[in-house]
C-alpha cells in the first residue's frame, strides 16, 4: 500500500505554503489553474482530503467526500462556462497513467478542441 506523501506540491497548495490561481473551493475540493496549461482552459480540481489517487479515494473516502469532489468538478465546469462548448476530464493514475503529483486530481480541459483522446 502506498503512503500519502504530505510534501507533494498539491498538499503544499492545500496548506497554503504554495500559492495557486484559485478558481473555486468548498469543504471537499479546491480548484485552480494548471501552472503549465495544455489548452486554452486547463483547470485542476483536487480533493481537500489526503488521497493519493482514484483507487485510494474511492476505496477510503466517505460518501460525502466522494459526492463533494465530483459535485466540485461540475461546479468548476459551470463556473468556467464549458457546459455547452464541451470539455475533457482527465484523471491520470499511477505510473502507467502518467500521474506526476500523488494527490487525487482531475484535469478539466476546454476552450478549444482537445484533439485525439490518446496518442498511440
Ligand atoms: P498529473 O500528471 O495528472 O499528475 O498532473 C499534474 C499537473 O499539475 C500537471 O499538469 C502540472 O502542470 C500541474 N502542476 C504542477 N505543479 C503545479 C502548481 N504549483 N500549480 C498548478 N499546477 C501545477
In tens, the pLDDT along 5-39 reads 999 999 999 999 999 999 999 999 999 999 999 99
pLDDT in tens, 80-97: 999 999 999 999 999 999
Residue 2's pLDDT is 87
Residue minimizing CA distance to atom 13 of ligand 1:
34
42 labelled catalytic: no
Q: Give the SS3 label for residue 33.
A: strand
CA distance 106 to 76: 11
- Residue pair 19/75 in contact (Cβ under 8 Å)? The answer is no
Reported as a single tens digit per residue, the pLDDT across 44-72 is: 999 999 999 999 999 999 999 999 999 99
User: Quick one: pLDDT at residue 54?
Assistant: 98
In sequence order, the 6+-apart residues with CB closer than 8 A to the CB of 100 are: 92
Ligand 1 geometric centre to CA of 35 (Å): 6
pLDDT of 119 strictly over 90 = no
Amino acid at each position: 500500500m502506498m503512503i500519502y506523501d504530505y510534501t507533494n506540491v498539491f498538499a503544499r497548495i492545500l496548506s497554503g505554503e504554495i500559492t495557486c490561481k484559485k478558481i473555486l473551493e468548498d469543504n471537499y475540493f479546491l480548484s485552480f489553474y494548471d501552472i503549465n496549461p495544455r489548452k486554452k482552459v486547463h483547470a485542476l480540481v483536487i480533493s481537500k482530503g489526503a488521497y493519493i489517487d482514484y483507487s485510494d479515494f474511492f476505496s477510503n473516502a466517505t460518501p460525502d467526500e466522494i459526492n463533494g469532489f465530483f459535485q466540485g468538478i461540475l461546479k468548476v465546469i459551470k463556473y468556467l462556462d464549458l457546459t455547452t462548448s464541451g470539455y475533457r476530464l482527465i484523471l491520470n493514475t499511477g505510473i502507467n497513467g502518467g500521474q506526476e503529483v500523488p494527490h487525487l486530481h482531475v484535469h478539466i480541459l476546454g476552450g478549444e478542441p482537445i484533439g485525439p483522446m490518446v496518442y498511440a
